[in-house]
Amino acid sequence: MSVELQQVPVRTYLEEPSRPRFRLPANACDSHVHVFGPSQRFPYAPDRRATPVDAPKEKLFALHRRMGIQRCVIVQSIVHGTDNRVVTDAIAAGEGRYLGVALVPVDVPDAQLQELATSGFRGVRFNFMRHISGGADIAAVLALTPRLATVGMHLQVHFESELVHELGEALARSAVPVVIDHMGRVDARKGVGHRDFQGLLALMEDSLFHVKVSGIDRVDPIAGPYDGYSHGVELARVLVERFPERCLWGTDWPHPNHTHIPDDGALVEALARIAPDESHLTQLLVNNPQSFYRFEH
């Protein structure tokens, strides 16, 4: 797709989300966000499908101050492709409280992986989504994982819900832990008993896997801010209760490729319903990110 078709920037986030009344524990971590631009300094990938309004690190830091979040993991976006400088810059400005997940080609040189790891990247992400062109080859991704293990990185995967059945067996052969994005992008309207969510639960029985209970606002195709994203909350709560030590949470700010613009304050408020008690909440927001991403104490 030519760049000429992508010139109108799309706003995907609220400038002033509501301020949550729900108080988060100290060192709470937002484990899934992106940063976009500023495009004059960090150009967008020429083959991107859309051009977002800049969402630079300064906006992200301000959001986290407003939400009461002290730690964060920034995931490189396809908007910037495999040029990870925009996240590297944000990590460097984050004073040890911000880490990253990179996008790389499967044949990335070992020296580049080591450089990313030294810069604060803890993993690499691959997409298996139909709406994202050039999806990864699972065999090639698995072949990369021993090299990820050498530099202390994990594998993060983003796939459509029905792919859990065919990708799950392959991903179980990974040489490093595997993080599943956004609850496997299940259709929350179909409930806990649907075969795709059951497939995710079965996969999570293997301690190799971790899951992000992010995306309560994504997994119901009919936007549900009016009822507090109740369908997504229900699935997230099941995962947190069943796998308390292997769940991570994130806002997914600035919410690219979405059906609507979520209120980040509402997403934070939903944590009161996702985590059934203070112990689960601290595990989800503090202990798990600390252990998995290795933040400096």
User: Active-site residue 217, yes or no?
Assistant: no
Q: Which of 30, 181, 217, 252 is catalytic?
A: 252
Distance of alpha carbon 151 from alpha carbon 158, whole angstroms:
22
Distance of alpha carbon 36 from alpha carbon 28, whole angstroms:
23
- Cα separations in angstroms, 110 against 116, 120, 149, 193: 10, 16, 11, 43
The pair phi, psi for residue 64, each rounded to 5°, is -65, -35
Return the structure tokens found at 285: 């927001």
Return the structure tokens found at 173: 């052969």
The 3-class secondary structure across 227-270, one letter per residue, is: HCCHHHHHHHHHHHHHCHHHEECCCCCCCCCCCCCCCHHHHHHC
Positions annotated as catalytic residues are 252
